[in-house]
Amino acid sequence: MAKPYQEGKGWAVRVRVRGQDIYLSGYDSAAEARKAAEKQRLAILETGKPARLGPHQTSVGVAFMDYAREKLPELKGAPQDARRINCYLRACSLPVIRLHAVEQAAKAGSVHWRVELADEETRTIPNSLQAHRRSQDARCQKSTKLLQQLARMPFADVTTYAVQQLMYAMRDEDYEPSTIRLEHAQLSRLFNYAHTKWSWTQPGVNPASGVDIPKINNARDRVLTQKEWNAIVQALQGYDNPYALPAFALLLETAMRSSEPLRQARWGDLDWARCVLKLRDSKVGPREVPLSPGAMGILRDLHARDGCPGPTARLLPTTYEALKKAWSTARTVAGLENVKPHDLRHTAATRYALDLNGNLPVLKLITGHKTDSQLMRYINLKSDDAVTRMHGHPMHPGAQPARVVETLTAQQSQSPPLLVAHGTPVVVECGEAVRPRSNVVVVDFARRSA
């Protein structure tokens, strides 16, 4: 055992165990330093030699870089993690993460991203954003400084206090509670990973555990009414992006997550005969999406309008950013507040819950949820829904949860909905088309001529 020595007003000790150099300092006596060194030695002998250079010779920033190379390839949400991790890499003047998508990553644990570390080019801020950036830098000055200190700190020396101070600074600078929680979760994952995968025994406990972070209430229960959806449709008629309205209509008919038809779905994944869309990957892994008559009509219209694209072509060759812009424009024109594209999933789940009398197994197949509790967050029934059922009163058509095609009277025939293909109204069923009925409203997805 190495002999402790006096360093300034305290005591320090250096010990080498299985090729791992450990330096401990700041103890009040030689006995305390010796006890700490023995504890470190026993921990390493029990867990094995630490991976890489170990926690004492690795900064938090370098640890994040190694974590990113090992862990991010298998994470579907890696782009969000990469943006946060890059802040720590920049603080240490390290190369930043660049992600490249890997196609056909369907199986659990498969590689979704190729991680590249590259020197970051000097970012040029447009003149129009100079004032905003200066204001942002001034507001975040304290948290930025604390993050930089944390990034350069030896991994083994990070304390709960250091993490807590960063969280408090972000709170005082009016960061959103969700942003603070994501930052905290990123740090917690790093320390857990280092402990379990790299056999790093220091810090002794995860310094992100026990940290006081603000509570958030981000649960949404916004359900679009038929009147509101009709206003969105009206606002998007003739919009520059011809895929905006069909995309939103498909989300409303299928309850899919926006990433599923945008990133995963190809025309070859669509089983026309079974009325099922086979997703090779999703948030919950591969799944089959049941398609309503309305959804089938939307897809038939898209397929014909795009000239019958091949099996590898995307269903919706547009981006989420483009759809967000279209939604923002339509929402403004329609005069709607506090409504987001993700609310279409809430709306569809709520509508199907009413249509299917709360059949949870079927509803989970439609939405892709694994548990009842997850599903129930998206079924947002109101007391009025219960009253109409209890008294047998029909709900006012304009107040019903939105659907692509509006039936004008509540309790009319069970006929399939009317859609438009090639500009000609047809009623679409799985495998056939019949004459339209008079109790439906036509939704034209075709792009208006200039």
Per-residue DSSP letter, 287? E
pLDDT at 132: 75
Q: What does the alpha-carbon distance between residue 91 and residue 61 come to, in Å, rounded to a whole number?
A: 8
DSSP 3-state of 96: strand
**What are the beta bridge partners of residue 440?**
407
Q: Report how far residue 254's alpha carbon sits from residue 367's, in angstroms, rounded to the nearest whole number.
A: 8
Please confirm whether the linkage preceding 203 is cis (ω < 30° from 0).
yes
Query: How confident is the chain (450 residues) per 10-residue block, as mean pLDDT?
Result: 80 77 80 82 68 87 96 91 96 94 63 90 77 81 95 94 95 91 96 92 89 80 91 91 94 92 89 92 84 93 92 91 93 91 94 91 92 90 82 74 60 36 39 41 49
Q: How far apart are CA 367 and CA 382, in angstroms?
A: 20
Buried b (16+ CB within 10 A) or exposed e, 433-447: eeebeeebeebebbb
CB atoms within 10 A of CB 210: 10
Q: Write the single-letter amino acid at 309.
A: P
Q: Give all domains of the chain, ordered by start, each with its CATH number.
A: 5-47 (no CATH), 60-120+139-197 (no CATH), 226-434 (1.10.443.10)
CA-to-CA distance for 332 and 59, rounded, in angstroms? 48
Residue whose token pair is 């055992």: 1
Residue 21 confidence (pLDDT): 72
